Amino acid sequence: MIQPSTRRDLLRSAAALGTVGLFAVPLSAPAAIDPIKRAGKCRMKLSLAAYSFRDRLNPKKGETKAEWTLDDFIAFCAAQGLDGTELTSYYFPKETTPEYLAHLKRQTFLLGLEVSGTAVGNDFCRPPGEARDKDIAHVKKWADHAAAMGAPCIRIFSGSTPKGHSEQQARASCVEAIEECCRYSGERGVYLALENHGGLSATADGLLAIVREVRSPWFAVNLDTGNFHSADPYAELAQLAPYAVNVQVKTEMSPAGSAKQPADLARLVRMLRDVDYRGYVVLEYEAAEDPLAAVPRYLDQLRKLIA
């Protein structure tokens, strides 16, 4: 069997067989991740990130038990008529067992939901050594968990340049760690999607510098619409949209030199249509209003926009 090691190799193999898959890219592209060329017109599905209810999924100060479990969150997603549910790793039991993962898979299936993805915290910019190895092992463990739940994608971070190291050194370390994790996650059919989330990925150019170096067909971008703080965050988001396999939508944006302002959700959805995005649009609510009141309202807005 052909085992393509890069996105370009994948397409060459497909071309040799006379077929091109959903994520076809030009054969003349560099031997690294390229903008995703999707078969068919734009098609978006709606999901909700568990992080939106972090105050209910985390125990309050002085308490050991949270107000909600992930079962409660999944039931909320079903009640909202969503297509998917994003189960953030932060709210899983410390010892996550195969039985618990099977339980979540059963619950989502019975409620007509897909697990649209999960998300982990990591820092791959540390130099090779025990600390980075621990983060690599953590991401690999979650690749196993994602596969067990049927989640196609894990949101990861780049991390920040450590003191005493250059940005180039940090990027090289990050790329090496991502490639190692992608080899592992790819064997389980799970994408790793790098979020624009500070550090090396604080700008579109910084994130793309990583994207263009990673050699794996199981790597792409997790586009977070609220994490750019330049004078024109919409322009930076447009740079990344062609690489996205998952999109987390925030309801607010903070351009440089301006106060926090409501996000133009219609503009964000048009941006995705422009690149024929096919995948999940995940509401990740972070604003001050109680999510029980605000989240259903924003889901209704997004549902109408992506229809």
The confidence score (pLDDT) of residue 40 equals 87
DSSP 161: P
pLDDT at position 257: 87
Q: Which strand (E) or helix (H) includes residue 173? A: helix 167-186
Q: What is the pLDDT of residue 102?
A: 98
pLDDT of amino acid 76:
98
Cβ partners under 8 Å of residue 122, min gap 6? 135, 138, 139, 156, 157, 159
Q: Which residues contact 267 (CB under 8 A, 6 or more apart)?
A: 234
Tokens, residue 268: 């964000």
What gap in Å lies between CA 138 and CA 288, rounded to an integer? 31
Per-10-residue mean pLDDT of the chain, 307 residues long, equals 40 36 37 79 97 96 94 98 98 96 98 98 96 98 98 98 96 98 98 97 96 96 97 97 98 93 98 97 97 98 98
What separation, in Å, do the N-terminal and C-terminal C-alpha atoms of the chain show?
A: 40
pLDDT computed for residue 6 by the predictor? 43
Determine the pLDDT at residue 218: 97
**Which structure tokens are listed for 224?**
């977070």
Helix axes 130-149, 167-186, angle to 10 degrees: 30
How far apart are alpha carbons 143 and 148 in whole angstroms? 9
Count the helix, strand and coil residues of the chain and give each as a percent rounded to the nearest 5. 45, 15, 40
Write down the pLDDT at residue 9.
44
- 88-92's contacts with Cβ under 8 Å and 24+ in sequence apart are 88/49, 88/50, 88/51, 88/118, 88/119, 89/118, 89/119, 89/120, 89/121, 89/142, 89/145, 90/50, 90/51, 90/54, 90/57, 90/58, 90/119, 90/121, 91/50, 91/54, 91/57, 91/58, 91/66, 92/145
**Dist CA 224 CA 7 (whole Å):** 23
Burial label for 59, CB within 10 Å (0-12, 13-18, 19+), is: exposed
Is residue 84 a contact partner of residue 114, using CB atoms and an 8 Å limit?
yes
Residue 62 is encoded by which pair of tokens? 């002085």
Are β-strands 43-48 and 278-283 bridged in parallel, bridged antiparallel, or unpaired? parallel
DSSP H or E segment with residue 210: helix 204-211
Domains of the chain are 1-31 (no CATH), 43-306 (3.20.20.150)
